[in-house]
């Protein structure tokens, strides 16, 4: 499964990286995030594209598990 590491990146970079992955047609991937703004913006993008995702809180960062 592809993993997109957006930790340490400021918006809009995480959104751009996730959008690029969505455009490839990949059916499942994970997104590593470490800021509240990125969490909200990426979730908005995933919802807009009608993608299902679950979140894991690992303390220092979060992971969105995305499945189409």
Give residues with Cβ within 8 angstroms of 39, minimum separation 6.
Answer: 33, 55, 62
Mean pLDDT, the chain, rounded, equals: 95
User: Within 10 A of 18 (CB to CB), how many other CB atoms are there?
Assistant: 24
Q: What is the mean pLDDT of residues 39-48?
A: 97
Domains assigned to the chain: 2-67 (3.30.110.40)
The reported pTM is 0.93
What are the respective helix, strand and coil percentages of the chain, to the nearest 5?
Answer: 35, 30, 30
* pLDDT for 27 beyond 90: no
Question: And the tokens for 52?
Answer: 């299902």
Q: Positive or negative, the Cα torsion across 37, 54, 27, 7?
A: positive
State the Cα–Cα distance between residues 5 and 17, nearest whole angstrom. Answer: 9
Residue 19's pLDDT band (cuts 50, 70, 90): very high
């Amino acid at each position: 499964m592809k993993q997109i590491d957006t930790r340490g990146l400021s918006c809009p970079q995480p959104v751009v990286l996730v959008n690029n992955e969505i455009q490839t047609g990949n059916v499942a991937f994970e997104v590593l995030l470490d800021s509240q703004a990125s969490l909200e913006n990426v979730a908005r993008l995933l919802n807009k594209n009608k993608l299902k995702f679950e979140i894991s809180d690992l303390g220092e960062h979060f992971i969105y598990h995305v499945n189409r």
